[in-house]
Amino acid sequence: MNDRLYSSLLNYNGCIMNASGALCMSKDELDKLNISESCAIVSKSCSLEPRNGNQEPRWYADIENGISINSMGLPNLGYNFYYQYFKNRDIQKPKLMSIAGTSMNEALDIFKLILNEYEFPNAILHDNIYLSDYPDNLFFEFNMSCPNIVGKPQIGYEFNYMNEYLNNIDTIINTFQKNSIFKNKIKYGIKLPPYFDVSHFNTASEIINKYNVSFVTCINSIGNGLIIDTASETVVIKPKEGLGGIGGKVIKSTALANVNMMRKLLRDDIHIIGCGGIETGEDIFQHILAGADAVQVGTCLVNEGINCFDRLNRELIQIMNQKGYQFKNDFKGKLKFL
Ligand code: RRO
């Protein structure tokens, strides 16, 4: 892999990015991510048309206890906003466009529309590189794990559906690339829900290994949790009678288990982006030790703002220095067992 995403993933200084959904919906938020110390920009998961999402309040964080709950319901500005933003903005780092849609067909329609946009007739060959409006360093992260669309399953828990989805993505890419100047340029990953059973890790990884997946992001929030406010005896968010995706420190152990199991079970060429429970450089160190190539930060970013990237980078470097590690590869995936 010679794409910048992967070279920057290999650099311990630059392996921390935002999780989709965290401060990445509006132009203003994306601009801030662009000038932050994040190693990449991930967009809010998008749908074909703009969506307002669920009723408010739909996000709640208990910072002291390291827990958040959300039922945003996929609010976003529509796929074309994010595509045009990534295409036209001067961004010197990898861009991950998160595609959700409210169904597989909607997500695939978005993908096809974008690929159709790629084929610009005015692409010219220059030093063996085609110059065109092709948005360089653009990767796709298919979100197969949103827990908050009322009446829709989390695709990552419906294995036949996930298999069909991946099959369709590869078919679209192969058809597109057949006669395209963009051969082997289209790279995609998937965002998975947390798995809790070894048989689910096995089934999910067997499916993923069959396809041309470049990276896997695990995990999305833990779906359909409930936070109760004792004083008022109420739920804390309005949609779905208080049920929402749980994030924050409390989900770190589940995230680490998913990263580690996926690292053991997936093909070596599939990169892993760890996500879940990251608040400190030590948390990132543990994700990498478990097998992550890079990490995403959600709840912590929303609570602390974009300065968290600078702090987390410094804390990670500090712990690496203490341990005598110079490169991420010195400890990546080297978790010891008893
Ligand atoms: O927008 C959301 O409600 C949402 C999404 Br798309 C997701 O993937 N994960 C999440 O916790 N919330």
Contact (Cβ atoms closer than 8 angstroms) between residue 226 and residue 243: yes
Q: State whether the beta carbon of 254 lies less than 6 angstroms from ligand 1.
A: no
d(CA 225, ligand 1 centre) in Å: 13
| H, E, C per residue of 125-152 | EECCEEECCCCCCEEEEEECCCCCCCCC
> What are the pLDDT tens digits along the chain (338 aa)?
334 455 544 454 589 999 999 999 999 999 999 999 999 999 999 999 999 999 999 999 999 999 999 999 999 999 999 999 998 888 888 999 999 999 999 999 999 999 888 765 444 444 444 444 456 789 999 999 999 998 999 999 999 999 999 999 999 999 988 777 677 778 999 999 999 999 999 999 999 999 999 999 999 999 999 999 999 999 999 999 999 999 999 999 999 999 999 999 999 999 999 999 999 999 999 999 999 999 999 999 999 999 999 999 999 999 999 999 998 999 999 999 99
308 tagged catalytic: no
- CB contact at 8 A, 82 and 43: yes
Ligand 1 and 298: CB distance under 6 A: no
User: Facing residues of 192 across strands?
Assistant: 218
User: Where do runs of H (alpha helix) occur along the chain?
Assistant: 4-9, 27-35, 79-88, 104-118, 159-178, 198-209, 252-265, 281-290, 299-304, 308-323
Domain boundaries, the chain: 3-330
Supply the CATH classification number for the domain 3-330. Answer: 3.20.20.70
Tokens of 249: 């420190």
C-alpha of residue 261 to centroid of ligand 1, in Å: 23
Residue nearest to atom 9 of ligand 1 (CA): 146
